[in-house]
Amino acid sequence: MNFDFSDDQKMLRTTAREFLEEHAPLSVCRAVLESDTPCSDTLWRGAAQLGWLGTAIPEEYGGAGLGHLELAVIAEEIGRALAPIPFSSSVYLATEAIVLDGTDAQKKQYLPRLSSGEAIGTFAHAERPGRQGPSSVSATLSAGRLSGTKMPVLDGDVAHFAVVTARTEHGLSLVLADLTGPGVKRRPLHSLDPSRSMAVLEFDNAPATVLGPEGRGWERAQALLDRAAVLMAFEQLGGAQRAFEITREYTMGRYAFGRPVASFQALKHRMADLYVEIELARSNAYYGAWALSNASPDLPTAACGCRITATDAFDLASREIVQMHGGVGFTWEYDCHLFYRRAKLLGTILGSADQWRERLIELLAATAPDTSHPAAQPYA
Amino acid sequence: MDFNDTAEETKFRAEARAWLEANAERLKPGDAAAVMSERGGSEVIVTAKQWQAKKADAGWACMTWPTEYGGRGASAIQAVIWHQEESRFRTPPNIFAIGQGMLGPTIMAHGTDEQKKRYLRPMLRGEEIWCQLFSEPSAGSDLGGLRTTAVRDGDDWVINGQKIWTTGAQYSQWGMILTRTDPTRPKHAGITYFIIDMKSPGIEIRPIKQINGGAVFNEVFFTDVRISDKNRVGAVGEGWRGAITTLMNERLSIGGGAGGPEFADLMRLARETDWNGRPALDDPAVRQRLARFYVRGKGLQYTGYRTLTALSRGAIPGPEGSIGKLVGAVLKQDMASFAMDVLGPAGAVTEPGIAPEEAAWQETYMGIPGLRIAGGTDEILRNIIAERILMLPPDVRLDKDVPFKDIPTGPRNA
Ligand SMILES: Cc1cc2nc3c(=O)[nH]c(=O)nc-3n(C[C@H](O)[C@H](O)[C@H](O)COP(=O)(O)OP(=O)(O)OC[C@H]3O[C@@H](n4cnc5c(N)ncnc54)[C@H](O)[C@@H]3O)c2cc1C
């Protein structure tokens, strides 16, 4: 057993972190948040130049031909930086959908441009408030024309195309729609986290083509969400870890009653608990990354484990960073709210932790009672 | 990253499994309880000793110990593989854990050559059982506050005082005891560590009845008990160093798992228990709780794998081991409590013949509070994580440089 990233992967982490520390300090996230621009173009170009966008795209389609472990490493760093770029939409969702289900022609058409950053993709799934299920999709594709409304779509106003869930005569399917062509109207939405953009997309007889097996759209969407959940878990983990580090630093330097507030046991114990939650989430994320890169049959349950624990850990870290900063934690000027916003955005966009808990038990209930060997007891 | 056994590990696992198949009986679902409740009685000690000797003869005892003490110098991963395999079989409770897991390593680190030679091999073979005489009525979490005294008298030391919560004192041959040898020094500087024969004159052992009805731990009283200076472990006044070694190993040895029923048993209970005509497993609230337990358990398991990976690359075990006990014990307590809720009013029934899983959940519920206290309470473990991993400022210590005799105490300690 070897449950750690390799030296090469760790090197990749170091370079990614160095790049982001230089080019994406939190002021970059804040700048996007405070302006009308939907994302940072410079950062996007930088990510493209470093080859990050094509990390898991095969070389024959213009990618780096590395794998999902490498992508996980980068995702964690993107998460640490709260990078204001459409990385998750384009890389974990649109790119993965095409790698997974695209025909050779579709791959040739999209992947090289996704890899170079020339094209940005997204996944348009939800249509209205509430939990998404197979029957919440009413967009339709008929005779190559897509109609319906998708809301909200993360990065929907910067993306060039979208993978869309829609009904065809064969049932729920995934389709590819150009967002820059005729029949598409889009409007940016005000959101909780304006460092990432959101939009409502209206399709009115917009040209679109089927992606993957027609009529099996729910299953394919779920497969896609599982993959994205693993990768996004690393982004959430990075965010949680950074919030934790900033909190630690602040409480060590802030004095009250003649001592650093970090010396009060109430805070120390909560810091210990937060550390534990992050470590458990990290361990689940590692397992998910392994399952993803080995195409393990465990991927669906592993994805649930990643999604649930990473969402909960980032949620906790983002509340604690505000609380443990006291009054300044509630100011616009301090960075605490950037984490508080991002944690909730990422925590809802692929479905809530509760929703993934439900899915997890559905999966476990469907398999035969567990007879595998008991949990490892590393020290016993 | 690779979860599968290497070729070598596969071979080792097969070897372990083959030996177990030939020498023990496989555990069936629902057996966990039966094994747990066998703990205690004298016939258990006999079977436990037989099992330990058998393992020792075949090279499966204290595998990570150096060969000179009877171990096989195995890697941490091999030890885990062994424990994974052994835990699928019905085996007696490990009443040797305190000795082998905690006191053995202390003797290896701080003992004399003579002590190593005399004590380690019988400890490994399960011929002699050990207990840990650390806690006192006024010194638990604050172990350095202990008051049992050892006074030098020629080649001997004379011990007076009281220990408490001593697991297994009633059936142990040997104890490791912390004593105060100099009350004029600050508290940690005046402590000396000894090996003591539990059959010595002047030792009185009184069992203490626990909240679960058992009586595994005891009060131990010392009245003019004499021990030879040869039984001193480490230098006079430096017993705290040995104590730290013991405690580090204690957290590691109990970090691994709380034992008893597992998630799969809880899942089975939710499938099989009827809630108004449907399986409890169909209820959304039940599903949410189960999912939380599952991901927490997995997180813990994979955290163990990460630690193992680090160990296999030469890292030394650190305070990270605290996570296992802190998270594992509370998780098991929550799971047990929930299992009983799933059963409805019958959850309170503790008769093995009636309660599902032979009342394993009820037994776990009553036993687990002890695990949250023994070997460092949840609060002490959080302090360790905060101060030793996260390097947050230490707690304010009012008694730090004060001579022990001048430290103020509460009414209970007077
Ligand atoms: C089942 C069992 C078996 C045991 N076996 C043995 C054994 O074999 N040998 C042995 O020597 N001992 C043994 N013990 C004793 C055990 O180590 C102590 O009970 C434990 O360390 C707690 O000490 P205490 O009981 O004095 O509680 P106290 O220290 O009095 O704690 C009371 C409460 O105060 C909290 N507290 C104390 N200090 C702090 C602090 N600094 N910060 C925050 N909170 C604090 C504690 O967490 C606890 O909640 C055993 C205990 C149990 C329950």
pLDDT over threshold 90, residue B44: no
Ligand 1: residue whose CA is nearest its atom 40: B380
Once rounded to an integer, what is the mean pLDDT over residues A315-322?
Answer: 98
Taking contacts as CB-CB distances below 8 angstroms, the residues of chain A near B393 are: 252, 259-260, 262-263
In this structure, what DSSP letter does residue B229 have? G
A113: nearest Cα among A57, A68, A67, A168: A57
| Ligand 1 pocket check for B165: Cβ under 6 Å | yes
Cα(B136) to centroid of ligand 1, in Å?
10
Quick check: CB of B21 below 6 Å from ligand 1? no
Ligand 1 atom showing the smallest separation from residue B135 Cα: 11
Q: What is the distance between the alpha carbons of residues B323 and B371, in angstroms, rounded to a whole number?
A: 14
Residue A141 Cα to ligand 1 middle (Å): 67
Alpha helix positions (H), B24-67: 32-37, 42-58
**How confident is the model over A67-107, as pLDDT tens digits?**
999 999 999 999 999 999 999 999 999 999 999 999 999 99
Please work out whether the CB of residue B167 comes within 6 Å of at least one atom of ligand 1. yes
pLDDT at A372 over 50: no
Is residue B97 in contact with ligand 1, taking CB distance under 6 Å? no
Q: Which of B36, B130, B135 to mutate to test the pocket of ligand 1 (most atoms within 8 A of CB)?
A: B135
Single out the residue of B114, B336, B151, B139 nearest to residue B243, CA to CA: B139
Place of tokens 């993957």: A212
Tokens in use for A173?
Answer: 């399917």
How far off is chain A from B76, nearest CA to CA, in Å?
7
In chain A, at which residue ranges do the beta strands (DSSP E only) sit? 121-124, 140-142, 145-154, 161-168, 171-178, 184-189, 198-211, 255-256, 259-260
The confidence band for B409, taking pLDDT boundaries of 50, 70 and 90, is: confident
B/e letters for A57-79, b = 16+ CB within 10 Å, e = fewer, are: beeebbbbebebbbbbbbbbbbb
Q: What is the pLDDT of residues A129-150, one digit of tens each?
A: 999 888 999 999 999 999 999 9
Residues in chain A with CB shorter than 8 Å from the CB of B80 are 376-378, 380
Residue B207, strand partner residues: B218
A368 CB neighbours in chain B (<8 A) are none
Q: Is B373 in the pocket of ligand 1 (CB under 6 A)?
A: yes
Cβ neighbours of A304 in B, within 8 Å? 291, 295
Handedness of CA A314, A247, B382, B212 (dihedral sign): negative
State residue B36's pLDDT score. 44
Among candidates A4, A309, A370 on the partner chain, residue whose Cβ is nearest the Cβ of B1 = A4
CB A95 within 8 A of CB A116: no
Average pLDDT over residues A199-209: 98
Q: Which amino acid is at A118?
A: E
Average pLDDT, chain B: 92
B14 touches chain A (CB under 8 A): no
With a CB cutoff of 8 Å and minimum separation 6, the contacts of B3 are A1, A3, A287, A290, B305
Answer yes or no: is the C-beta of B374 below 6 A from any ligand 1 atom: yes
Query: pLDDT grade, residue B5 (50/70/90)?
Result: confident
Burial class (CB in 10 A: 0-12, 13-18, 19+), A368: exposed
Rounded CA gap, B133 and B170, in Å?
A: 12
Determine the distance in angstroms separating the CA of B95 from the nearest CA of chain A, rounded to an integer. 13
Chain segment B203-235, per-residue pLDDT in tens: 999 999 999 999 999 999 999 999 999 999 999
DSSP character string of A1-40: -B-S--HHHHHHHHHHHHHHHHH--HHHHHHHHHSS-SS-
pLDDT of res. A374: 42
Give the span between the Cα atoms of A229 and A355, in whole angstroms. Answer: 12
Residue B169: which of B217, B225, B100 has the closest Cα? B217
Token code pair at residue A324: 């443990």
How crowded is the C-beta side of A68, counted as CA atoms within 13 Å? 27
Which band of pLDDT confidence, cut at 50, 70 and 90, is reported for residue B296?
very high
CA distance A360 to chain B (A): 6
Beta-carbon separation of B298 and A272 below 8 A: no
Q: Catalytic site residue B262?
A: no
Interface contact flag, B304 A376, Cβ < 8 Å:
yes
Cβ contacts of B271 on chain A, cutoff 8 Å: 365, 369
Q: How far is A274 from chain B, CA to nearest CA, in Å? A: 10
Task: Name the residue in chain B with its Cα closest to that of A276.
Answer: B323
Mark yes or no for CB contact B302/A360 under 8 Å. no
Q: Is the CB of B218 under 6 A from ligand 1?
A: no
- Grade residue A166 by pLDDT with cuts at 50, 70 and 90: very high
Candidate from B148, B198, B377, B392 with most ligand 1 atoms within 8 A of CB, to mutate: B377
pLDDT at B322: 85
Q: What is the pLDDT of residues B249-283, one digit of tens each?
A: 887 665 555 678 999 999 999 999 999 999 999 99
Question: Does A152 sit behind a cis peptide bond, omega within 30 degrees of 0 on the bond before it?
Answer: yes
Among residues B250, B320, B357, B358, the one annotated as catalytic is B250
Using DSSP bridges, classify how beta strands B174-180 and B130-133 pair: parallel, antiparallel or unpaired: parallel
- The pLDDT of residue B240 is 97
Q: In this structure, are residues A315 and A89 in contact, taking their beta carbons and an 8 Å threshold?
A: no
Nearest Cα to A328, choosing from A251, A245, A270, A242?
A251
Kindly state whether B183 is in contact with chain A, defined as any CB-CB distance less than 8 angstroms.
no
Ligand 1 pocket, residue B130 CB under 6 Å = no
Q: How far is the CA of B167 from the centre of ligand 1 (A)?
A: 13
The pLDDT tens digits for B352-388 are: 999 998 899 999 999 999 999 998 999 999 999 999 9
Token digits of residue A180: 């820059």
Q: Report residue B414's pLDDT band, with 50, 70 and 90 as the boundaries.
A: low
The rounded distance, in Å, linking the Cα atoms of B370 and B376 is 10
Question: Which of residues B39 and A188 earns the better pLDDT score?
Answer: A188
- Say whether residue B393 is in contact with chain A using an 8 A CB cutoff: yes
Residue of A nearest to B295 (CA): A305
Task: Provide mean pLDDT across the span A243-252.
Answer: 98
Closest CA to B192 of B223, B154, B148: B148
* Contact criterion met (CB < 8 Å) for A269 and B287: no
| pLDDT on residue A298 | 95
CB contact under 8 A, B392 and A375: no
Residue among B77, B264, B387 whose CB faces A370 most closely: B264
pLDDT at res. B321? 78
Q: How far is A300 from chain B (nearest CA, A)?
A: 13
> Among candidates A77, A107, A13, which has minimal Cα distance to A4?
A13
3-state SS of chain A: helix, strand, coil percent to 5? 55, 15, 30
